[in-house]
Amino acid sequence: MNAPHQIVICMGSSCFARGNRSHLALIETFLSDRGLHTSVAITGSHCEQQCAEGPNIRIDGRLYHHLDEGTLLDVLEAHFTRDTKE
Ligand code: FES
């Protein structure tokens, strides 16, 4: 699949335990609700070596830190709203 966007969720034990376990479902719902699910490839990564800054998720190359459900939704909204206007 050659999706124009990529989300990489850190599935290292620290990020997984601190929120990324549930963030996958949140991301999938966000994208599906907006018809974006075919435009974004979602993969997992091993530890990004930035556990103290986690949970970490990389979106189109930019690594976002300290994400919880609220901040993750804010990031997704800002990122994909901005991108869909280009
Ligand atoms: S587990 Fe995510 S940065 Fe280490």
Q: What is the DSSP string of 1-66?
A: ---SEEEEEE-SHHHIIIIIHHHHHHHHHHHHHTT-TTTEEEEEES--S-GGG-S-EEETTEEE-S
Write the pLDDT tens digit of every residue in 44-70: 999 999 999 999 999 999 999 999 999
Pocket test for ligand 1, best of 8, 9, 56, 67 (most atoms within 8 A of CB): 56
Q: What is the CATH number of the domain that holds 48?
A: 3.40.30.10
Kindly give the number of the ligand 1 atom that is closest to the alpha carbon of 14.
1
Domain span at 40? 5-84
First to last CA, the chain: 22
CA distance 76 to 34: 11
Tens digit of each residue's pLDDT (9 = 90 or more) over 8-52: 999 999 999 999 999 999 999 999 999 999 999 999 999 999 999
The domain tally of the chain equals: 1
**Total-model pTM:** 0.91
What does the pLDDT read at residue 86? Answer: 46
Show the tokens assigned to 13.
Answer: 């034990």
